[in-house]
Amino acid sequence: MRLKSFNAKTMSQALQMIREALGEDAIIVASQEAKDGKSVTVTAAVETGEPAFELGKQGQTNAKEWLQYDEEEETTAVTEALTDTLIKHGVPDSVSDQIISYAMVIGFQDPVTALISSCETLFDFRPLREATQKSRFLFIGPQGAGKTLTTAKFAAQAVLKGEDVAVATTDTMRAGAVEQLEAFTKIMDIDCHRISDPRQMTQFLNDTREKDAVFIDAPGVNPYDAESLKPLAQLVAHKGLVPVLVMPSAVDPSESEDIAKIFASLGAKIMVSTRLDVSRRYGGLLAAANAGNMVFAEFGTDSAVANGFKSPSAEQFVQYILPRSQAKRSIQNTEQKRVGEM
pLDDT for 33 equals 73
What is the band of 66 on the pLDDT scale with cuts at 50, 70, 90?
Answer: very low
Q: What is the gyration radius of the CA atoms in the chain, in angstroms?
A: 24
Judged against a pLDDT cut of 50, whether residue 315 lies above it is answered with yes
Looking at beta carbons, which pairs linking 120-124 to residues 24 or more positions away fall under 8 Å?
120/314, 122/32, 122/95, 122/98, 122/290, 123/286, 123/289, 123/290, 123/296, 123/314, 124/35, 124/294, 124/295, 124/296
Taking only the tens place, the pLDDT of each residue in 91-107 is 998 899 889 888 877 77
- Average pLDDT, integer, range 57-82: 50
Yes or no: say if 149 and 177 are a contact pair by the CB < 8 Å rule: no
Task: Kindly state the average pLDDT of the residues 227-237.
Answer: 94
> What share of the chain has pLDDT > 90, as a percent?
58
DSSP-assigned beta bridge partners for residue 217: 139, 169
At residue 89, does pLDDT exceed 70?
yes
What pLDDT, in 10s, does the model give residues 262-290? 999 999 999 999 999 999 999 999 999 99
More reliable by pLDDT, 150 or 36: 150
25 pLDDT band, cuts 50/70/90, is confident
For residue 39, give the H/E element and its range.
none
Average pLDDT across the chain, whole number:
84
Report the percentage of the chain scoring pLDDT > 70: 84
Give the single-character DSSP code of 27.
E
Q: Residue 306 — pLDDT band, cuts 50, 70, 90?
A: confident
pLDDT at 80: 83
User: What pLDDT is attached to residue 76?
Assistant: 60
